[in-house]
Structure 1
Amino acid sequence: MDFNRMLVSIDNELSQEDLDSLKFLCSDLLPPKKLLSIKSSLELFTELQKISLLEEDKYDLLAELLYIIGQHSLLKVLATTKWRVQEALREKRTVSLYRQMLFQLYENITSDDLRTILFLLGIPKKYEEGKKFLEVLSYLEKNDQLSENKLDVLENAVGYVSPDLHKKINEYKKTIEIQKPTAQSFEDENDKTQFSIQDQDQVEGSYIETIQEPIQHISETVSEKDLMAENTGTLAELSLNEDPKLEIYSMNRKHRGYCLIINNEQFMKSEPRTGTEKDAEFLHSVFTWLGLHVEIRTNLLAKEIRNCLTEFKEKDHSERDCFVSCILTHGKSKAIYGTDDIDIPISEITSYFSTTNCSTLAGKPKLFFIQACQGNSSQGAHAIEPDAVSDAEKKRPKITIPNDADILVGMSTVDGYYAYRHNRTGTWYIQSLCENLTKLVPKGEDILSILTKVNKDVSEKEYSNLKQMPQPAYTLLRKLVFPIPPAPFKPASKETNF
């Protein structure tokens, strides 16, 4: 591809937020006035070309920038991958660790945290209103309150609202201490560079993505034991040990696939699940955006759920890439309930779509996202309600992830514990799932990485000592990457916070 056409192709995929991020990361490379005048990615590319940082046979910096802002799917336009970029950054980087650290703070800060930080910093109203954190950081640098070796002002403010973000600053400071030049390092410039690179490797893995959510989204309690079912993979480990040679599921058939949403709100004996309609609405909107044919079935008896699953397993999936089912209902350990309070084992639900029972989905990913309690522990506070029933303890059916391959089950909570639902805004798990799909699919992230992020986001939410821990388990044999939709996600409701 012609070099200029390649740059145009990349520009077409970048949003205004991406451009703001790129400009901030280039703050040490281009004059502030020049950056302020840049209105498009192409203009930024032009300025980088003028100073020989972007040329037809030299675009390491562009690859580094796309990697940092998470636009990994665009690296293929540069004939490279995120793994190659990772390896290259071990030897040479252009964006400083200082600039990257500030950018990571920006990526992980919440709107509530930002408002508090603005107040603590005493930033004038004319700069404060409507400002993004990147602009606040630039303001502090412009007023000589922030630099590589001057972090006290920012550190005090960030430390007040988020210990995890404060930890990132401390990690950077330790890196700077390690990298202070010695008399010996001045004798040999190459030796000094090598020492610096080694120290960067020591801390690079420690910049773990952290989100602090506002308390307005109420949290729930679960134990962190038995996070994964026996003989299933651990998402966190897989995410940290990605194999660049791992095959990817084919997503180029005529249709993307069916998405079945079963949304139970009214029950014969149990309390209604108010707020579940918000989850169903967001799931419908997000999976439609991802190209699936979405159908919602509401308030089904156990028998009707089984009939519905039979209906979808008997469909011809030959020209479809995958199958997705989202079940929103009450539940107990390793089972979900119909509206008649009759339970169905989760293992039975997944078995409908095994290779034996649904041959046209053989070798294709089958995803199940289940929002339901998995136990009867009594927890509750404020406007949250448990997605469970309080009947006497019943015999618990045994569940394991099916031996058949290509199945993923995303549970809203670990076995034995409540999953909570806000009676107005929906559930933490489903809302986080939708939000991270809309944010990370356009960046080319695979489903396991996305669910790892969901795990982290939900686990960090807290209200009155209540917490919740999702539990994903899978027998996927390849990476599952949804193709990037042709247009940005547009919420179905004005109240959506994505």
Structure 2
Amino acid sequence: MDFNTRLISIESELTQEDLESLKFLCLDLVSSKKLLAIRSNLDLFKELQKNSLLDEDQYELLAELLYIIGQHSLLKHLGTDKWTMQNTLKRKRTVSLYRRMLFELYENISSEDLKTILFILNIPKKYEENKTFLEVLYYLEKNDQLSEDKLDVLEKAVAKVSPDLLRKIKDYSRIRDKEIQEARLQCEDEYDDKTPLSIEAQEVPSEDAEIVQHISETANEKGLMDENTEISMAELSLTEQPEIYSMDRKHRGYCLIINNSVFVKHVVRLGTEKDAAFLTNVFTWLGMDVEIRNELSAQEIRDCLTEFSKKDHTERDCFVCCILTHGKSRAILGTDDEVIPISEIIAYFSPKNCTTLAGKPKLFFIQACQYSSCAERGASPMPNDADVLVGMSAMDGHYSIRHSLKGTWYIQALCENLVKMVPKGEDILSILTKVNKDVSEKEYFMNGKISMKQMPQPSYTLLKKLVFPKPPTPFKSPGQQANDF
């Protein structure tokens, strides 16, 4: 496949939102006037080629851009992958640290935070309506209110809405100051080494000009991160490229959904049908053979688990089990209110009890309250065998929140992030980390006051990275709502 054909393949999978992100990241590399006139990703590639920033032998910048915007699955068209780029960018990068910091702010800002920032910045109405945060940042730069060393206006606005975003700006400033100081010292050493004894007839550049020149020449050759700084743009840890579970067998695997709503004693779990429908659509889209079982007693759940553990999974990549029901500490309930320990559920699929799943990933997503008396509480359920992941909707001893019309916080966040992050090549642990963040930021209000929050808890004994292959077609939403409640 020639290089232009590969570019067309990449372009076909990028969205308009991706284009705006790529244009913003290229503002320091291509004139803003030319970038504003670009209307397609292919046109952007052509512009990069005109500027000698992209060709068959020089595609590092495009790989870096795809990595930054999270389109990791497209890196294969350039003969690389997420893990290789993660290590490469610790040694050399083209997109400035400043530009990447701004992009991270954009990726992590909520619509409500953006409204507040627009109000604080007092941006003219004609610029304010229907603007993205990238457009706001561009406006600030254009009007000389924002630059690498002019962050006060942005800091004051961000400080009002998000300590986490403010910390990203502070981290960038600290790293930049450290780099400038290191460059200053290195320049002084080089100057001492190269300056002849007699300099009367020479024109010696100013110290500041030399520092600026040195930084521009070495910025892509040096790591810009403080070794004690923990921010995502650094990705500082030098790890070997991890092994990845094989996902290329004849079938992806079974996805069993156990959905209980009506119980003998407990209240009806209104809204659980939304969760079941969303899970069905998402895992079908991911290539799983989904089977749903409704209203099962404890014994019927055991029978169902036995049935699936006895199936032949030889030609299947993995197994997924989603259980939507009431629960208590380290256990779930059947419709007859009988308790089944989560450890028992996992044991049905141990290498001893299900030999054809040995060495393959087994995922359990449990949507159930884990509340109980203090005397009953213990450690959250941990798998005893390798290759297992248990995603709990709530930490042990706590409730799990469900909306009677929209479903549960946890399952909705899980499905939304699978849809968003699988096409970008993200592994399951990265996805569940994002699920944790999304759910933890939700708040349940009663009588105008926050009365309840929720924190999911995954535990795992996976030995490799688990990355679901990108589905051949985009996900078609069945209409689930993602709003807070």
Task: Say if 1:455 and 1:476 are closer, same or farther in 2 by CA, change over 3 A.
Answer: same
Residue 52 of structure 2: aligned partner: 52
Structure 2 counterpart of 1:213: none
AA aligned to 1:157 is A
Q: Are 1:294 and 2:290 an aligned pair?
A: yes
User: Partner residue of 1:457?
Assistant: 438
Corresponding residue for residue 473 of structure 1: 459
* 1:179–1:196 Cα contact (<8 Å) kept: no
- Measured after TM superposition, the shift of residue 144 of structure 1 is 2.1
Contact 1:289/1:485 (8 A) holds in 2: yes
1:444 aligns with 2:425: yes
Cα distance in 1, alignment partners of residues 464 and 28 from structure 2: 40
| Residues in 2 aligned to 1:337 and 1:158: alpha-carbon distance in whole angstroms | 45
Determine the C-alpha separation between the residues in 2 that align with 1:443 and 1:179: 32
The reply on whether 1:202 has 2:203 as its aligned counterpart is no
AA aligned to 2:452 is L
Runs of at least 5 residues in structure 1 that lack an aligned partner in the other structure = 210-238, 379-392
Contact 2:427 2:465 in 1 (8 A): yes
Does the CA contact (< 8 Å) of 1:444 and 1:481 recur in 2? Answer: yes
- Match of residue 171 from structure 1: 171
TM alignment of 1:86-101, pairs within 5 A: 86-101=86-101
Partners in 2 of 1:184 and 1:205 — Cα distance? 21
CA distance in 2, matches of 1:47, 1:334: 57
Q: Distance in 1 between matches of 2:238 and 2:314?
A: 30
TM-score by length of 2: 0.86
- The runs of 5 or more residues in structure 2 that have no matched partner are 191-209, 445-449
Classify the secondary structure of the residue corresponding to 2:252. strand
Instruction: Kindly report the root-mean-square deviation, in angstroms, between the aligned alpha carbons of the 2 structures.
Output: 2.7
1:446–1:481 contact (8 Å) kept in structure 2: yes
Change (3 A) 1:300 1:115: same
Instruction: From 271, 291, 296, give the equivalent of 2:267.
Output: 271
1:255 pairs, out of 248, 251, 266, with 251
CA spacing shift, 1:199–1:242, aligned 2, 3 Å: closer
The offset of 1:376, in angstroms, is 2.3
Alignment of 1:493 onto 2:479: yes
Task: Please tell me whether the aligned partners of residues 92 and 220 of structure 2 are also in contact (alpha carbons under 8 angstroms).
Answer: no
Q: Distance in 1 between matches of 2:124 and 2:90?
A: 40
| Alpha carbons 2:171, 2:229 under 8 Å: kept | no
Question: Given the superposition, is the C-alpha separation of residues 55 and 301 from structure 1 closer, same or farther in structure 2, using an over 3 Å criterion?
Answer: same
Question: Is residue 132 of structure 2 the alignment partner of residue 132 of structure 1?
Answer: yes
* CA deviation string 1:18-75 (max 9, x = no partner): 1111111001111222111212221111111111111211111111111111122222
1:303 matched to 2:299:
yes
Structure 2 residue matching 1:369: 3-state secondary structure: strand
Measured in 2, the distance between the counterparts of 1:131 and 1:122 equals 14
Shift of 1:240: 8.5
Say which one has the larger Rg. Answer: 2
Give 2:242's match in structure 1, choosing from 230, 243, 246: 246
Deviation at 1:361, TM superposition (A): 2.0
**Match for residue 322 of structure 2?**
326
- Please report how far the alpha carbon of residue 371 of structure 1 lies from its aligned counterpart in structure 2 after TM superposition: 1.0
SS of the counterpart of 1:282? Answer: helix
Query: Counterpart in 2 of 1:155?
Result: 155
Q: Using a 3 Å threshold, how does the CA distance of structure 1 residues 150 and 461 change in structure 2: closer, same or farther?
A: same
1:485 shift after superposition: 0.9
Deviation string, structure 1 residues 329-349 (Cα, Å, up to 9, x no partner): 111111100111101111111
- Aligned pairs for 1:356-371 within 5 A: 356-371=352-367
Alpha-carbon distance between aligned partners in 1 of 2:140 and 2:300, rounded to the nearest angstrom:
60
Shift in Å at residue 76 of structure 1? Answer: 2.3
Q: 1:185 to 1:247 in 2, by over 3 A?
A: closer
Cα distance in 1 for residues equivalent to 2:468 and 2:219? 40
Q: Which residue is 2:406 aligned to?
A: 425
Distance 1:77 1:433 in 2: 28
| Counterpart Cα distance in 1 of 2:79 and 2:413 | 33
Q: Distance in 1 between matches of 2:319 and 2:350?
A: 11
Write the distance in 2 (CA, Å) between the matches of 1:368 and 1:183: 54
Which structure is richer in relative contact order (CA contacts within 8 A, separation 6 or more)?
1
* Native 8 Å contact 1:171 1:203 kept in 2: no
Cα displacement (A) at 1:183:
5.5
1:19 corresponds to which residue? 19
Name the aligned partner's letter for residue 476 of structure 1: L
Count of aligned pairs: 454
Change over 3 Å in CA distance of 1:418–1:102 after alignment to 2: same
Per-residue deviation, 1:416: 2.2
Equivalent residue of 2:291, what SS? Answer: strand
